[in-house]
Chains A and B, each alone.
Chain A
Amino acid sequence: MVQLAAITGIGQTQYKGRRNDVSIAGLVNEAAVRALEDAGLGWDAIDAVIIGKAPDMFEGVIMPEVYLTDALGGNGKPVLRVHTAGSVGGSTALVAATHVQSGSFRRVLTVTFEKQSESNAMWALSNPQPFSPHLNAGAGGYFAPIIREYIRRSGAPLDTGIKVAVKDRIHGSKNPLAHMQKPDITEQEVAESMMLWDPIRLLEACPSSDGACAMVISDETLAKDSAKPPVWIRGGAMRSEPTMYAGREEVSPRAGRECAKAVYDQAGIRDPRKDLDCAEVYVPFSWYEPMWLENLGFAEADKGWELTLSGATALHEGGDIPWNCSGGVLSSNPIGASGMIRFAESALQVRGDAANQVDGARTALGHAYGGGAQFFSMWIVSADKD
């Protein structure tokens, strides 16, 4: 029996290229303390700690929960470490929620982080593997051919990605925690930025950030007495498929479509564009907005770019379904935390506390993906319990 659970505390660090002012422990502690302060609680109120981050090689610390427990009040408590590639921030939130939804715990703290300035994350993603051909391409090199196939298939105008890059940076400029602050960004500036992996230009790619995100998740009884309005978890789902197999649909992966269907079914979402007020979706390269609009059912196949170009996803253009009002992954990307930031920002929206708030938002989607667009995690949160 799924027990009701709610987000009752949210804390984020400043996202920056280098947080030289804090250690890794200091970084996660900053987010955790802010989440506890937001919840009006102390460390003693927490029954378990669930940590997530992307590959340990990004910081060079193996299974860092062992080292970080002292900074996260984990001693004497269960401490779990989740790792599901780029989707890990979302998966960690869902695993944390499971602790409460299973009736096993009353209130847990979940924290995700990446301190990418400790290494070169792009190359830590693509070091040679035994028995496998060496890709040597980084994430952008992996996804660029898939984006080119999307453009070929959909006939999307070539400036679609540029539009997303500008939109998410304008969104991000209204979020003081965002890493990239470019309030005056123009389409021309994006178009003239260096081509990294055709068709992905520098300003169409996510930055590499340091940062951490934390949430407190409580059971129904504790949530009723929480300091801030509780944000109810109405659905949560994860799906995985292999990186490669014959006939795999890579532009709109089946795992993403089925994950969306599962989470929509749980939350009673029939038409995501109408039934949701906003969404925080993992878009690390600009073109993934139109691609995910289709994968997640906000637009028909090959029509996602029309939604993007119409301004429907831009809050400052009065769009009806704003995506990534926080600035998204294109504005801040501490990889292991990026998924949880999506989940946390969706919760802030329905609580009415987002820096770039959608008026009257009640229900929102948080989304994350990882690996070769093969691992997906999503949740639907709402101000309404049912």
Chain B
Amino acid sequence: MQDIAIVSYSQSDCVRDAGAQNEVELIMPVLNAALSAVGFNDAQDVDFTCSGSCDYQQGASFAFVMGVDALGAVPPINESHVEMDAAWALYEAVLKLRMGQAESALLYGFGKSSPGELPTVMSQQLDPFYLAPLWVDTISLAALQARACLDSGVLTEADMADVVSRSRANARANNPHAQLAGDVSVETLLSEPEYLAPLRRHDCCPISDGAAAMVIMTVEKARNMGLPYALLRGIDHRMETHNLGARDLTRSVSTEQAAAAADVASGPVDVAELYAPFSHQEIILQKALGLGSETAVNPSGGVLAGNLMMASGLSRIGEVASRIIAGEASRGVAHATSGPCLQHNLVAVLEAA
């Protein structure tokens, strides 16, 4: 497959409530930052634009239509949208570049989760006949998964607390956009009361408002423009059944499939950014991706430090790309997820040029 160059990435601060800022105001700063980093002005300077968002965060149909106002789409542009995390917008753009109909693309994702109660809202993602009427929220489903993991012995509560402790410390050290950061010991975390057993509040990602944007192009174009870049060497995504009772929740089979297709195992992995909204899921994902102690997992703090719903997956890829471009890593893996209990997973492999 043709390699793609990731040439710039920008992410907003993760904030609990962006107040009166609307979606366009959330998007504009990250778009401008990602575009100006490579000397572009607006979407006119790329061949294709694609975004990811979810109407239910805004509580109105067509959240992405307003987003077009942020692009400078006069004259008209070649543009598309996925009602998914923007990591899948990147996937669509990669196909477009491979097809040869575009040499460059602008991707962005945005979400303003603060107006609603996100875990409850997302319960309406479930089977509308058997599950949604129960209003099982995302945290409750994750708690069931965590319980299955604890009962089967694949992880312990201390393992989960360790994930959180590392996330907070990494976020403090490396991530100016983090919502939650600091130094907190495993013992302190384990002394906290349970929230939805076996999850404690800190096992759950925070709810954040914000956006992220990225520019990709063909390697040839990046070279011609003299831009530093990270190579996107592989990208794949796989779906699993929606029937939670038919899945082994202690594994992520679809992540294993995507990792195999993206060729994660063909070289050492210096850095990995995993979209694990709950602490136990980071451990499940690490196993599914075959990552060992040589890999720095979630140096940004991951989404436990701030979760830009609909942009967090793109952010994971952007975080890995940024570290590779900065010379801090030579090969990395990024992951995005969608659906309850890691139902749908995307895996990307990035390398230094």
Q: Is the CB of A78 within 8 A of B237?
A: yes
Q: Is the CB of A95 within 8 A of B92?
A: yes
Q: Complex: how many Å from CA A280 to CA B82? A: 25
Q: Is the CB of B56 within 8 A of A62?
A: yes
Q: Complex: how many Å from CA A372 to CA B65? A: 9
A88 CB to nearest chain B CB (Å)? 9
Interface residues of B in 109-154 (CB under 8 A from A): 115, 121-122, 124-129, 132
Q: Is the CB of B132 within 8 A of A78?
A: no
| Closest A residue by C-beta to B98 | A102
| Closest A residue by C-beta to B91 | A80
Given A63-B54, A125-B61, A242-B73, the answer on whether A82 and B128 have CB atoms closer than 8 Å is no
Given A55-B62, A65-B239, the answer on whether A245 and B74 have CB atoms closer than 8 Å is yes
Which of B5-13, B205-213, B265-273, B336-344 sits within the interface? B336-344
- A176 in the interface, Cβ–Cβ < 8 Å? no
- A189 in the interface, Cβ–Cβ < 8 Å? no
B242 CB to nearest chain A CB (Å)? 5
| Closest A residue by C-beta to B79 | A240
Q: Is the CB of B238 within 8 A of A258?
A: no
Interface residues of B in 252-301 (CB under 8 A from A): 253-254, 257
| Closest A residue by C-beta to B68 | A242
Q: Across the interface, which residues of A come within 8 angstroms of B327, CB to CB?
A: none
- Residue-wise interface mask of A (81-92) relative to B, using a CB-CB cutoff of 8 A (1 in contact, 0 not): 111110000010
Q: Is the CB of B58 within 8 A of A129?
A: yes
Q: Across the interface, which residues of B come within 8 angstroms of A91, CB to CB?
A: 80
Q: Tell which of B61, B122, B344 has the most Cβ of chain A within 10 Å.
A: B61
Interface pairs (7), CB distance under 8 Å: A59-B128, A62-B125, A74-B239, A81-B82, A83-B82, A101-B99, A125-B61
- A20 in the interface, Cβ–Cβ < 8 Å? no
- B22 in the interface, Cβ–Cβ < 8 Å? yes
| Closest A residue by C-beta to B48 | A238
Q: Complex: how many Å from CA A78 to CA B92? A: 12
- A77 in the interface, Cβ–Cβ < 8 Å? yes
- A43 in the interface, Cβ–Cβ < 8 Å? no
A346 CB to nearest chain B CB (Å)? 20
- Which 6 A-B pairs have CB atoms at the shortest separation, nearest pair first? A55-B61, A255-B76, A240-B79, A102-B98, A83-B83, A66-B339
Given A81-B84, A125-B61, the answer on whether A63 and B338 have CB atoms closer than 8 Å is yes
- B188 in the interface, Cβ–Cβ < 8 Å? no
Interface residues of A in 249-302 (CB under 8 A from B): 253-255, 258-259
- B101 in the interface, Cβ–Cβ < 8 Å? yes
B215 CB to nearest chain A CB (Å)? 18
- B103 in the interface, Cβ–Cβ < 8 Å? no
- A60 in the interface, Cβ–Cβ < 8 Å? yes
Interface residues of A in 309-365 (CB under 8 A from B): none
Q: Across the interface, which residues of B come within 8 angstroms of A74, CB to CB?
A: 239
Given A62-B122, A66-B344, the answer on whether A80 and B62 have CB atoms closer than 8 Å is no
Q: Is the CB of B75 within 8 A of A70?
A: no
Q: Tell which of A55, A67, A81, A243 has the most Cβ of chain B within 10 Å.
A: A67
Q: Across the interface, which residues of B come within 8 angstroms of A23, CB to CB?
A: 129
Classify chain A: how many residues form its interface, as a range. 35 or more
Q: Complex: how many Å from CA A238 to CA B73? A: 13
- B64 in the interface, Cβ–Cβ < 8 Å? yes
Q: Across the interface, which residues of B come within 8 angstroms of A255, CB to CB?
A: 76
Classify chain B: how many residues form its interface, as a range. 35 or more
Q: Across the interface, which residues of B come within 8 angstroms of A60, CB to CB?
A: 124, 128, 132
- A124 in the interface, Cβ–Cβ < 8 Å? yes
Q: Is the CB of B92 within 8 A of A55?
A: no
Q: Is the CB of B88 within 8 A of A80?
A: yes
Q: Is the CB of A104 within 8 A of B1?
A: yes
Given A75-B241, A83-B64, the answer on whether A104 and B98 have CB atoms closer than 8 Å is yes
Q: Across the interface, which residues of B come within 8 angstroms of A55, CB to CB?
A: 55, 61-62
Interface residues of A in 223-263 (CB under 8 A from B): 237-243, 245, 248, 253-255, 258-259
A-B contacts besides A62-B125, A75-B240, A131-B20, 6 pairs, CB < 8 Å: A59-B128, A82-B81, A95-B95, A102-B98, A240-B68, A242-B74
Q: Is the CB of A70 within 8 A of B241?
A: yes
Interface residues of A in 42-67 (CB under 8 A from B): 49, 54-57, 59-63, 65-67
Q: Complex: how many Å from CA A372 to CA B239? A: 33
- A103 in the interface, Cβ–Cβ < 8 Å? yes
Q: Complex: how many Å from CA A237 to CA B75? A: 15
A143 CB to nearest chain B CB (Å)? 15
Q: Complex: how many Å from CA A15 to CA B80? A: 27
Q: Is the CB of A254 within 8 A of B75?
A: yes
- B201 in the interface, Cβ–Cβ < 8 Å? no
Given A75-B239, A102-B96, A130-B58, the answer on whether A239 and B68 have CB atoms closer than 8 Å is no
Given A70-B243, A371-B62, the answer on whether A241 and B55 have CB atoms closer than 8 Å is no
Q: Is the CB of B339 within 8 A of A63?
A: yes
Given A130-B22, A255-B76, A374-B68, the answer on whether A67 and B62 have CB atoms closer than 8 Å is no
